[in-house]
Structure 1
Amino acid sequence: MQGTATVCDDPDELLRLATAIGGRYTGADRAEEFGRRNAVPGELVVRIRPTRIVSDFDVTG
């Protein structure tokens, strides 16, 4: 993938996204725990607006 990246270190946005991701992968009951553990100073959110994507199917197959 190629694209334009933006970086965010806003604590509220980090907490919101880390909690949402935590809910998806660890379950709703642990989402807040995951969010608080991962939305700490030094962590960042990087968003990429793709300009080019190259993909392939059945790579292992």
Structure 2
Amino acid sequence: MAYVIGDDCISCGTCQGECPVEAISEGADKYVIDADACTECGTCASVCPSEAISLG
């Protein structure tokens, strides 16, 4: 089960820079995680300042 970014995302980009497999990209109104590329490492969730990332 891949991580997902919720509506609390403030589009700061911190998660994108920390993702070791580059599964995160900037979406229309928030960042998004490519579920097929996500390795479920949790790095993104651990650095998110708004705690908007959780297991989907």
Structure with more helix by fraction:
1
Larger Rg: 1
